[in-house]
Amino acid sequence: MYNVLFDGNTSSNKYMKEFIENQQYREDQLRYQCNLGNYIIEPKENSYGKFYDNFKYYLSNNIPRFVYPEIMDSPIVSESHEEFIKNSQINSNINRRLKYKDIDFVLKNNNPIIWEFKTDELTLNVCGVKI
pLDDT in tens, 57-90: 887 777 665 555 555 577 889 999 899 999 999 8
pLDDT at 1 over 50: no
Q: Is residue 73 part of a domain?
A: yes
Q: Are strands 76-78 and 103-110 parallel, antiparallel or unpaired?
A: unpaired
Residue percentage of the chain with pLDDT more than 90: 19
- φ and ψ at 46, to 5 degrees? -85, 175
Count of domains forming the chain: 1
Q: Is residue 11 part of a domain?
A: no
**Domain range enclosing 77:** 64-127
Q: Which of 44, 19, 41, 21 is nearest to 31 (CA)?
A: 41
Q: Is residue 48 part of a domain?
A: no
Compute the distance between CA of residue 22 and CA of residue 108 in angstroms, rounded to an integer.
73
Mean pLDDT of 108-125: 88
pLDDT in tens, 26-43: 888 887 788 777 777 777
